[in-house]
Amino acid sequence: MHGVEECAGNVQQLCVAKYESSSVWWEFVQCQNYEGRSKIGNPDLALKCASAVGIDWENSNSGRCAGLDGSGKGPEGVTLLKESVRLGQKLGVKSSCTVLISGRKVCVHDGTWKECENGHSVNDFVRQINQEYDKLNEV
């Protein structure tokens, strides 16, 4: 089960993902992760990380989405979290991190890598993504 803090962190990250570029989102997530799992979801950390990656939290859609106080209790953000949970259930995702390519589970990391028939290195994932791209774009 996820605790309140982890859910708040999920809301913060989902809102940043929705309103910022993928590179800014990634920097935001990395900033939160750097402080340790127990701090993810902390409002002060969200505000600190937002500032560190150039998000003006109080005047941004990300901040409005997650809650201007950084709480992760913004109505839009909570809705995004609920939608994310429903999508995970629909796709059969049981643990984080589950790697999906075109909706198909290709690997799971849950303490260790599992169910990774075609490998779990960066190069393995790049190869699988390229193969799927080629398959989807056959003439």
Length of the chain in terms of residues written: 139
What pLDDT, on the 0 to 100 scale, is given for residue 97?
87
Q: What is the largest CA-CA distance in the chain?
A: 51
Report the alpha-carbon distance of residue 18 to residue 65 in Å, rounded: 9
Report the alpha-carbon distance of residue 70 to residue 63 in Å, rounded: 7
At 2, the pLDDT band (50, 70, 90 cuts) reads low
- Helix residue ranges per DSSP H, 35-106: 43-52, 61-66, 75-90
What pLDDT, on the 0 to 100 scale, is given for residue 1?
44
For residue 41, report the phi and psi dihedrals to the nearest 5 degrees. 105, -15
76-120 pLDDT, tens digit each: 999 999 999 999 999 888 887 899 999 899 999 988 999 999 999
3-61 pLDDT, tens digit each: 888 899 999 999 999 999 999 999 999 999 999 888 999 999 999 999 999 999 999 99
Look at the alpha carbons of 86, 87, 91, 94 in this order and tell me if their dihedral is positive or negative.
negative
